[in-house]
C-alpha cells in the first residue's frame, strides 16, 4: 500500500498513515536499513520521526521535564533511563470509544490496519530516574509480540535523544540481567569480557558523550543464587563456599537453649530457657546471614562447621550490595571521596574472587553458562568507577553526590506493581486494561522530588518483592510442608477462644484469662511471622533475650506451653484490642461480623493506642519511611496485628479446630486469605 513514486516521499506532513507507520517501524527495528533506504528514498531525518511520531512516548512528560530544566532546576539535569518488559494477555478487544479493534502490536505509530497484524504479548516500559535528586518519570510504553536486544537498544537510543533535546543529560541506562538484557548491551557497544570490559557507549554514535550501562542488581543476585544452587560447591583461592550451609541455616528448627540466668535477676543458681529461632525474613546475601553462620559455628552445631568460606562469600556479596544501594558503612551516597578508595579496593577483591571461582570439577565459573550474574557485578563496578571519574572528580561539574540506587530497576518495578494493582487483575492484563491503568497513573505523576526518607531503604524494599532471595524461600523450596501445629498443652481458656458472653467471662479465672491473652498474642505473632518479609519487623514480634549479642538473623525467644511469648508491643496491642472487643461487643443493636463493624473495632483500638508510649522501639526509623508516613510497614504492622487478633477473637470457629483431648485445646494453622496486604509484604529492614 506504499507509494512507489519518489515525489510522494518528499514531505512527512504529506505522508499517509501507512507511510508514517512504515518509517517509524523501520527505524525502530533496523536503523541501518533505514539509513540505507534514505539514500534511495528521501525519508525524513530520524530526529523528525522522534519529534513528530514520538513512538509510544508520553509527550506530556517530556514537556513537563523541559519546563523543569528551563527553570534552571539542577535536580532534573541528570538522569538514568530504565527499561523493563511486562507480559500481556494476548486478546483482541473492541474499543467502543475509538470504534477500533485493540490488542495488537503498537509502537506509537498506530495499529497496523491489516489482517496480518499480530497480537501483542508484551509491553515495554521506559522510565527516567533522577540521579542528583530522587524523582521518577514514566517516558512511554510499547506493545510488541516479541522482544529483542537490538529493538530495546534502539528504544533506549530514542529515549536518550528525546531527553537530550529538552536539556536532560542521561548518564546511565539500566536493563534486567537476562539474555535479552545482555543482547541489548552488546547492541549498544558494551563488552562484558572480564578482561576487557567496555562499560559505556556513545550517543549519538561517534560523539564524545558516553553513557554507562548497568544490569539490575537484584536480577544479578537471583542469577548468582541459581548458580550456587546448581554447583552446590564453589572454590576460590583456597576458600570453599557450600550451598548446603545456607540450606541448613534456612531449615534449622527451633532448638531449646539452657543457660544460667542473668546474675542481676537475683536467681544466679537457676537456668533460663530460650529457643533459638532463625529469622526467615533475612536476605540471603546479607551481613545477617554471615553473622548467623558464624554464631551457629561458635555454638558447635555440626552442620555449620568449616563454613568460613561461605561466610566470606556472603559477606563479599553483602558489601557489594551496600555500595550499589547506598546502605551500610558507605551511607546513602557511597561515591564520596572518603569512600571511593575503600570501594575501589572492594571492587578489586570482588573481581579477583569472581574470576578465580571454580566449580567442583575445577572449571572456571566465569566461563560457564552460569556466568551472567557475576559478569553483571563486574560491569556495574566498572560503570560506577567511570561515573566517579567523569562526574564527581572534575571541577565545575555539579554532580558531587550521585544516588547509586538510581541505577537499579526498583523504581520501574514499583511503578509496574502499582499499575498491576490499578488494573484490578492478578494475572497479565490485556492491552486495553494496561493502557487504562497506565494513563491513570500518568495523570497522577507529579515529578516531585522524593523526601529524604522515601527511598532510604530502597534496597530492602526492592528485595522484599523477591522472596526467592530470603532464607524463607530456601526453606519453602527444600521443606515445602507447612509449619507444625502448636503444642496441645497451650493454656487457652474457652472464654477467649469462643465468642464473648457474659457467662463465659464470669466463669473464667482472671489469671488464666490474662495468660490466654498472652498466648493468643504469641500465636498471632507466629502467624504473622510466616508471611512477614521484614527482618527487623519479624524480630520485633517476640520477646527476645536482651543479654545476648543482637543478631536479627538468629533470634533467642522465650516460649510458654509451646507458644512463643510476644514482645511487649504485640502484647499491648492485643490487650487493647481485647478491651475494646469486650466493651464494644456489649453494645446492642450493632450488626456484628460485618466489614463496617470490623472497621469500627479497629478505629476504637487505634483511638486507644493514640497517646500511649511508643510501640516497637527498635522500629523507630520505619515510622518515617514511605511517601506517606501513615502508609508504611510500621503502621501496617500495627494494623495487621489488630486485624488478626480481632479476626481470631470474633471468628474462632473459622480459624481454630477446637478439640478437647484431655481437657485441652488443639489449634490448627490459620487458614483463609493471607494475613498481609502488599504494603506489609513489601517491607524490609532498615
* Whether residue 498 is found in the same domain as residue 644: yes
> What is the rounded distance in angstroms from the CA atom of residue 258 to the CA atom of residue 161?
67
State residue 530's pLDDT score. 77
Chain length of the chain: 686
Spatial CB neighbours of 411, under 8 Å, sequence gap ≥ 6: 82, 127, 129, 136
State residue 450's pLDDT score. 63
* Whether residue 154 is found in the same domain as residue 248: no
Spatial CB neighbours of 490, under 8 Å, sequence gap ≥ 6: 519, 523, 561, 562, 563, 664, 665, 667
What is the average per-residue pLDDT within 22-39? 68
State residue 227's pLDDT score. 95
Q: Kindly state the percentage of the chain with pLDDT values over 70.
A: 67
Contact between 509 and 496 (Cβ < 8 Å): no
Q: Domain boundary at 378, 405, 439, which? A: 378
Answer whether residue 568 shows pLDDT above 90. Answer: no
What is the average per-residue pLDDT within 304-324? 92
State residue 269's pLDDT score. 37
Contact between 134 and 403 (Cβ < 8 Å): yes
State residue 509's pLDDT score. 52
Residue 661 grid cell: 483431648
287-296, 317-326, 448-457: least confidently modelled range: 448-457
Residue 371 domain boundaries: 220-255+280-378
* CA dihedral sign, ordered 46, 52, 53, 55: positive
pLDDT band at 625 (very low <50, low <70, confident <90, very high): low
Show the DSSP H helices in 585-668 as ranges.
Answer: 595-609, 633-650, 652-655
CB count in 10 Å sphere of residue 306? 10
The answer to the question of residue 474 being in a domain is no
More confident residue, 559 or 587: 559
Residue 491 exposed, middle or buried by CB count within 10 Å (0-12, 13-18, 19+): middle
Q: Kindly state the percentage of the chain with pLDDT values over 90.
A: 25
* Whether residue 230 is found in the same domain as residue 320: yes
* Whether residue 297 is found in the same domain as residue 151: no
- Strands of 121-228 (E only): list them: 122-130, 136-144, 169-175, 191-193, 196-198, 200-202, 210-215
* Whether residue 346 is found in the same domain as residue 401: no
* Whether residue 144 is found in the same domain as residue 240: no
Spatial CB neighbours of 602, under 8 Å, sequence gap ≥ 6: 639, 642, 643, 646
CB count in 10 Å sphere of residue 98? 9
> What is the rounded distance in angstroms from the CA atom of residue 294 to the CA atom of residue 248?
13
The answer to the question of residue 673 being in a domain is no
Segment 102-135, tens digit of pLDDT: 888 887 766 666 667 788 899 999 999 998 888 8
> How many structural domains is the chain composed of?
4
The answer to the question of residue 668 being in a domain is no
State residue 599's pLDDT score. 73
93-97, 425-429, 476-480, 506-510: least confidently modelled range: 506-510
Q: CA gyration radius for the chain?
A: 29
Spatial CB neighbours of 261, under 8 Å, sequence gap ≥ 6: 267, 268, 270, 271, 272
Which of 391, 413, 394 shows the shortest CA–CA distance to 402? 391
State residue 35's pLDDT score. 72
* Whether residue 335 is found in the same domain as residue 414: no
State residue 545's pLDDT score. 60
More confident residue, 593 or 375: 375
pLDDT band at 671 (very low <50, low <70, confident <90, very high): very low
Which of 454, 432, 436, 514 shows the shortest CA–CA distance to 103? 432
State residue 683's pLDDT score. 39
The answer to the question of residue 667 being in a domain is no
More confident residue, 9 or 664: 9
Segment 480-519, tens digit of pLDDT: 755 444 433 443 433 344 344 444 444 445 566 677 778 8
Residue-wise over 173-184: b if at least 16 C-beta within 10 A, else e?
bbbbbbebbbbb
* Whether residue 354 is found in the same domain as residue 429: no
Contact between 318 and 287 (Cβ < 8 Å): yes
State residue 458's pLDDT score. 47
What is the average per-residue pLDDT within 592-621? 69
More confident residue, 152 or 622: 152
The answer to the question of residue 191 being in a domain is no
CA–CA distances in Å: residue 531 to residues 20, 309, 463, 538, 640: 52, 31, 15, 9, 11
The answer to the question of residue 190 being in a domain is no
* Whether residue 224 is found in the same domain as residue 316: yes
The residues pairing with 364 across neighbouring beta strands, listed in sequence order, are 358
What is the average per-residue pLDDT within 154-166? 92
The answer to the question of residue 479 being in a domain is no
Contact between 181 and 156 (Cβ < 8 Å): no
Q: Domain boundary at 469, 498, 524, which? A: 469
Segment 348-375, tens digit of pLDDT: 999 999 999 999 999 999 999 999 999 9
> What is the rounded distance in angstroms from the CA atom of residue 539 to the CA atom of residue 637?
12
Average pLDDT of the chain is: 75
* Whether residue 362 is found in the same domain as residue 506: no
The answer to the question of residue 28 being in a domain is yes
* Whether residue 305 is found in the same domain as residue 352: yes
What is the average per-residue pLDDT within 76-91? 92
* Whether residue 622 is found in the same domain as residue 512: yes
More confident residue, 94 or 592: 94
Amino acid at each position: 500500500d506504499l507509494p512507489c513514486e519518489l515525489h510522494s516521499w518528499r514531505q512527512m506532513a504529506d505522508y499517509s498513515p501507512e507511510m508514517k507507520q512504515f518509517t517509524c517501524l523501520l527505524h525502530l527495528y533496523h536503523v541501518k536499513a533505514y539509513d540505507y533506504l534514505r539514500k534511495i528514498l528521501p525519508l525524513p531525518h530520524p530526529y523528525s520521526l522522534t519529534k513528530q511520531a514520538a513512538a509510544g512516548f508520553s509527550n506530556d512528560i517530556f514537556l513537563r521535564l523541559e519546563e523543569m530544566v528551563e527553570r534552571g532546576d539542577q535536580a532534573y539535569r541528570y538522569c538514568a533511563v530504565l527499561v523493563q518488559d511486562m507480559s500481556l494477555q494476548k486478546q483482541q478487544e473492541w474499543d467502543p470509544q475509538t470504534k477500533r479493534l485493540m490488542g495488537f502490536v503498537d509502537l506509537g505509530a498506530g495499529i497496523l490496519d491489516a489482517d496480518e497484524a499480530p497480537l501483542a504479548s508484551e509491553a515495554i516500559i521506559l522510565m527516567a530516574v533522577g540521579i542528583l535528586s530522587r524523582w521518577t518519570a514514566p517516558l512511554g510504553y510499547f506493545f510488541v509480540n516479541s522482544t529483542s536486544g537490538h529493538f530495546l537498544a534502539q528504544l533506549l537510543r530514542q529515549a536518550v535523544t528525546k531527553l537530550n533535546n529538552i536539556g536532560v543529560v542521561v548518564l546511565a541506562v539500566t536493563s534486567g540481567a537476562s539474555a535479552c538484557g545482555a543482547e541489548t548491551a552488546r547492541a549498544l557497544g558494551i563488552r562484558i569480557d572480564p578482561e576487557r570490559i567496555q562499560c559505556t557507549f556513545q550517543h549519538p554514535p561517534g560523539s564524545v558523550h558516553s553513557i554507562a550501562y548497568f544490569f539490575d542488581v537484584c536480577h544479578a543476585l537471583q542469577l548468582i543464587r541459581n548458580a550456587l544452587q546448581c554447583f552446590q560447591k564453589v572454590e576460590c583461592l583456597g576458600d570453599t563456599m557450600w550451598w548446603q550451609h545456607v540450606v541448613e541455616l534456612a531449615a534449622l528448627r527451633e532448638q531449646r537453649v539452657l543457660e544460667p540466668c542473668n546474675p542481676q535477676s537475683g536467681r544466679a543458681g537457676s537456668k533460663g530457657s530460650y529457643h533459638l529461632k532463625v529469622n526467615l525474613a533475612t536476605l540471603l546475601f546479607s551481613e545477617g546471614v554471615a553473622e548467623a553462620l558464624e554464631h551457629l559455628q561458635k555454638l558447635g552445631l555440626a552442620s555449620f562447621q568449616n563454613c568460613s568460606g561461605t561466610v566470606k562469600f556472603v559477606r563479599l556479596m553483602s558489601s557489594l550490595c551496600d555500595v550499589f544501594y547506598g546502605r551500610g558503612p558507605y551511607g546513602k551516597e557511597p561515591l564520596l571521596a572518603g569512600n571511593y578508595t575503600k570501594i575501589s579496593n572492594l571492587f578489586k577483591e570482588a573481581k579477583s574472587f569472581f574470576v578465580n571461582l571454580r566449580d567442583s570439577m575445577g572449571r572456571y565459573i566465569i566461563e560457564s553458562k552460569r556466568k551472567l550474574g557475576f559478569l553483571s557485578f563486574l560491569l556495574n563496578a566498572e560503570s560506577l568507577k567511570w561515573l566517579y571519574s567523569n562526574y564527581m572528580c572534575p571541577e565545575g561539574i555539579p554532580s558531587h553526590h550521585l544516588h547509586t540506587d538510581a541505577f537499579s530497576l526498583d523504581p520501574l518495578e514499583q511503578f509496574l506493581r502499582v499499575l498491576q494493582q490499578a488494573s484490578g487483575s492478578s494475572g497479565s492484563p490485556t492491552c486495553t486494561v494496561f493502557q487504562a491503568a497506565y494513563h491513570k497513573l500518568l495523570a497522577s505523576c507529579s515529578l516531585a522530588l522524593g523526601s529524604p526518607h522515601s527511598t532510604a531503604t530502597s534496597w530492602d524494599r526492592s528485595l522484599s518483592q523477591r522472596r526467592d532471595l530470603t532464607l524463607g524461600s530456601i526453606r519453602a523450596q527444600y521443606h515445602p510442608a507447612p509449619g507444625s501445629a502448636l503444642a496441645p498443652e497451650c493454656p487457652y481458656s474457652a472464654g477467649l477462644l469462643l465468642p464473648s458472653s457474659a457467662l463465659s467471662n464470669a466463669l473464667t479465672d482472671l489469671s488464666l484469662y490474662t495468660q490466654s491473652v498472652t498466648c493468643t498474642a504469641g500465636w498471632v505473632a507466629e502467624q504473622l511471622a510466616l508471611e512477614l518479609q521484614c527482618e527487623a519487623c519479624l524480630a520485633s514480634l517476640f520477646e527476645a533475650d536482651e543479654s545476648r549479642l543482637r543478631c536479627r538473623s538468629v533470634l533467642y525467644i522465650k516460649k510458654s506451653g509451646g507458644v512463643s511469648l510476644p514482645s511487649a508491643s504485640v502484647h499491648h496491642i492485643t490487650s487493647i484490642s481485647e478491651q475494646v472487643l469486650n466493651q464494644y461487643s456489649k453494645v446492642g443493636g450493632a450488626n456484628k461480623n460485618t466489614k463496617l463493624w470490623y472497621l469500627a473495632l479497629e478505629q476504637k483500638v487505634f483511638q486507644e493506642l493514640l497517646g500511649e508510649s511508643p510501640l516497637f522501639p527498635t522500629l523507630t526509623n520505619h515510622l518515617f519511611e514511605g511517601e506517606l508516613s501513615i502508609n508504611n510497614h510500621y503502621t501496617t504492622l500495627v494494623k495487621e496485628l489488630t486485624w488478626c487478633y480481632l479476626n481470631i477473637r470474633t471468628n474462632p470457629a473459622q480459624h481454630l479446630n477446637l478439640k478437647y483431648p484431655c481437657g485441652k485445646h488443639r489449634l490448627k494453622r490459620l487458614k483463609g486469605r493471607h494475613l498481609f496486604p502488599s504494603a506489609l509484604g513489601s517491607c524490609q529492614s532498615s
